[in-house]
Chain A
């Protein structure tokens, strides 16, 4: 099974991964805030979209991010048991497990889709997560323009 070779030429040419992160307001967003106020350094490649809860994340959001050319999507929320709305993240967990498989089948594989639990106290975990995701996505190269999920220029 061949995976894409690291696109070193791309990296040399200054390819910067564009990562969209859908995060919940109460945990991961607060955790990201904590990383910032603590002046923890992490790569600037992630664009954060804040939602009240991971339970609000419609799979369509993930698709739209890839449509627009995101090289990877990260979805992150409260640890199980900590959800501000009690069970939103439990619903999200089931949804992600199934959606992930469906995307993998149709050509958006697990190298570009990441899920995590990051609490409001885990500023360090957030920074570490972004560093690790960015490095992985830099290694695998940009999202193929020919992927069926991507918007293509109209002719």
Chain B
């Protein structure tokens, strides 16, 4: 309870001192957690943080209606902090005022450099829960045909609502590949091959940039296990190139760069 009181006090101070015109955080609405946009220092007591807060608030730093309000401070658990690093490395974010928090501690107000240092010091070993690795292992132990059947069932649930895309801070294209219609590359019908292509392409477009925050899977109204796709790519990248997204604000994009010694054992 005390740490949230300190967070709220810092948020109020940022607003009253004019260092931020808006604080982006989480609020509780009954059982739900929703984003909160606070510009009045008197209203910071609505800010909360607990493990039920699954949204990645970094998405809001790119929303025009939020940006127009002026410099924003953002309540950031480790997953959000890592997204800020990725956005900074992609020149989408020049600076940030971050209220760094996790379920056990509040680390105060930091800038991007401070966030990078904190991540390196305290959160270098962040990983998704063991259950996810177990699920992936089960999937990898199946035959290719069994895997095809598994994903057929999962992608059949997809309604192409694009909540996964909307919830992801890494998805910020003004016009997404599925919205390209000259030609229409990906079928927009919520059915087999279109759904397959959408999910494979979206996962691939996050390769080397996904911080495994889980916001996509949490946002999916149909319960599709998107993290299995993301973890597969993330593990392959860690194995082949030794890279882990979301720690270095000056990192080069993994899929956008190369080394002469990159493995090509699979190439004839």
Contacts and interface: CB of A to CB of B under 8 A. Distances in A.
Contact of A98 (B142, B149, B236): B236
Contacts of B267: 93, 96, 115-117
A147 B197 contact: no
B96 to A, nearest CB: 29
Given A94-B258, A149-B193, A106 B204 contact: no
Contacts of B196: 63, 106, 148-149
A146 to B, nearest CB: 7
A67 B185 CA distance: 11
A104 to B, nearest CB: 7
Contacts of B208: 98
Interface string B125-158: 0000000000000011111110111111001000
Contacts, number: 137
A152 interface: yes
B144 A148 contact: no
Interface string A125-155: 0000100000000000000101111111000
A84 interface: no
Given A105-B147, A105-B229, A150 B192 contact: yes
A47 interface: no
B258 A91 contact: yes
B207 interface: yes
For A3, A63, A110, A114, which residue has the most chain B Cβ atoms within 10 angstroms?
A63
Interface residues of A, number: 45
Most chain B CB atoms below 10 A, which of A4, A106, A110: A106
A30 B149 CA distance: 40
Contacts of B191: 152
Interface string B191-216: 11101110111011001100000000
A97 B185 contact: no
B64 interface: no
A80 B232 CA distance: 26
B268 interface: yes
Contacts of B177: 60
A148 B232 contact: no
Interface in A43-80: 59-60, 63-64, 67, 80
A103 B148 CA distance: 10
Contacts of A16: none
Nearest to A4: B145
B140 A60 contact: no
A98 B260 CA distance: 17
A121 B176 CA distance: 40
A129 B193 CA distance: 29
A107 B145 contact: yes
A97 B263 contact: yes
Nearest to B153: A148
A98 B140 contact: no
Given A60-B177, A149-B193, A152-B192, A105 B152 contact: no
Contacts of B199: 106
Contacts of A115: 266-268
A24 to B, nearest CB: 13
Given A98-B207, A102-B204, A106-B147, A93 B233 contact: no
Interface of B: 139-145, 147-152, 155, 177, 185-186, 191-193, 195-197, 199-201, 203-204, 207-208, 228-229, 232-233, 236-237, 240-241, 254-258, 260, 262-264, 266-268
The 5 closest A-B pairs by CB, nearest first: A107-B148, A109-B144, A90-B258, A116-B268, A148-B152
Interface of A: 1-4, 59-60, 63-64, 67, 80, 87, 90-91, 93-111, 114-117, 129, 144, 146-152
Given A105-B147, A111-B144, 6 more contacts: A97-B264, A98-B237, A105-B229, A115-B267, A129-B268, A148-B195
